[in-house]
Amino acid sequence: MGAVIVKVAPDDPRYVRWSSIVDAATHVFEDRDDVRSYLMDDYSPNDIRDRQDAAAHFGGKSVEQEVEERLDWTDETGTSGRRLASSQFRFDAAPDDLINFMGLCLIHRSNLSKVMDLVYAEDNDGDFKAHHKALNAAGIAIPFDDD
């Protein structure tokens, strides 16, 4: 999957960039404008603003149009991903469609806002094992099956 942009909750202005490489949020955005700025200016792997073939790459659309359509899709569904592999990030994720959180536990999408509040707060000291304990205490962490 790589990474997807995820809206934390329908009524929450925050977004995250969730990476399947580290199974965690690598970026936290305060609102849609922050995500737009990241996608248009800061996300160097795309570096699409300078591409001469951007219109061909995006089916005749400008880069700006593509970014706005992706953000609209994310606001509607919960994730920028359009593949089944990102279904666990959709607002309507099934109860057993779980997100791997840093290899420590599983979480359900419906708890993503609480996870953000517990783990990704500004005063986070980076002790994710301690935050895992907090997720357990809050009843959010789902253990991996031993099977």
pLDDT score for 50? 53
Cα–Cα distance for residue pair 119/143, rounded to 1 Å: 17
* Per-residue pLDDT tens over the stretch 130-143: 878 889 999 999 99
pTM: 0.83
Residue 71 pLDDT > 60, yes or no?
yes
Which of 15-24, 41-50, 111-120 is predicted least confidently?
41-50
67 near 40, Cβ under 8 Å? yes
Amino acid at 16: V
What is the helix, strand, coil percentage profile of the chain, to 5? 40, 20, 40
Phi-psi sector, 114: left (phi>0), alpha (psi -120 to 50), beta? alpha
**pLDDT grade for 18, boundaries at 50, 70 and 90:** very high
Q: Pairing between strand 98-101 and 24-29?
A: unpaired
**pLDDT grade for 55, boundaries at 50, 70 and 90:** low
- The overall average pLDDT reported for the chain is 83
38 near 27, Cβ under 8 Å? yes
| Cβ neighbours of 49 (radius 10 Å) | 12
| Cβ neighbours of 20 (radius 10 Å) | 14
Which residue did the predictor score with more confidence, 59 or 140?
140
